[in-house]
Amino acid sequence: MTLLLAPMEGLLDFVLRDILTRVGGIDGCVSEFIRITDQLLPERVFTRIVPELHTGGRTLAGVPVRAQLLGADPVCLAENAALLAGLGPAGIDLNFGCPAKVVNRHGGGAALLDEPETIAAIVSAVRRAVPAHIPVSAKMRLGYSDDLRAVECALAIAGGGADELVVHARTKAQAYRPPAYWERIADIRAVVSIPVVANGEIWTVQDARRCREMSGCDRLMLGRGAVADPGLALAIKADMADAAAEAVSAGIGWPALLHFLADFWHVVCTWLDARSRVGRLKQWLNFLRRSFPEAETAYQQLKTVNDPILVEAWLAGVLPEHKDTQARHPDR
Return the CATH number at 295.
Answer: 1.20.225
Domain boundary residue among 204, 224, 250?
250
Asked if residue 281 and residue 246 are part of one domain, the reply reads no
pLDDT at 327: 47
Supply the pLDDT for residue 323: 57
**Tell me, what's the pLDDT at 242?**
72
Active site residue 98: yes
Same domain, 194 and 321: no
Please say which residue of 250, 285, 315 terminates a domain: 250
Residue 64 shares a structural domain with residue 133 = yes
Answer yes or no: do 226 and 261 share one domain: no
Residues 6+ apart with CB under 8 A from 48: none
**Contacts of 134 by beta carbon, 8 Å cutoff, 6+ apart:** 85, 89, 91, 92
For residues 156 and 287, state if they share a domain: no
Residue type, position 193, single letter: S
pLDDT for the residue 75: 98
Residues 80, 228, single domain; the answer is yes
C-alpha 13, offset from chain centre: 8
Task: Specify whether 237 is located in the same domain as 304.
Answer: no
Among the listed residues 76, 98, 211, 217, the single catalytic one is 98
**Below-50 pLDDT ranges, the chain:** 245, 247-251, 324-332
Please state, in angstroms and rounded to a whole number, the distance separating the CA atoms of residues 49 and 18.
13
Residue 328: what pLDDT? 45
Is there a single domain that holds both residue 267 and residue 234?
Answer: no
Are 315 and 299 part of one and the same domain?
yes
User: Left if phi > 0, otherwise alpha if psi is -120 to 50, otherwise beta: which for 279?
Assistant: alpha
pTM of the model: 0.93
Sign of CA dihedral 209, 166, 280, 60: positive
Domain stops at, among 203, 221, 250: 250
Radius of gyration of the chain (CA): 20
The DSSP letter of residue 141 is E
Domain containing 33 equals 2-250
Q: What is the CATH number of the domain that holds 129?
A: 3.20.20.70
DSSP per position, 192-234:
--S-EEEES---SHHHHHHHHHHH--SEEEESHHHHH-TTHHH
Task: Return the pLDDT at 245.
Answer: 47
In terms of Cβ atoms closer than 10 Å to its own Cβ (0-12, 13-18, 19+), residue 178 is: exposed
Kindly state whether residues 75 and 200 are assigned to the same domain: yes
DSSP one-letter string for 62-73: S-BEEEEEE-S-
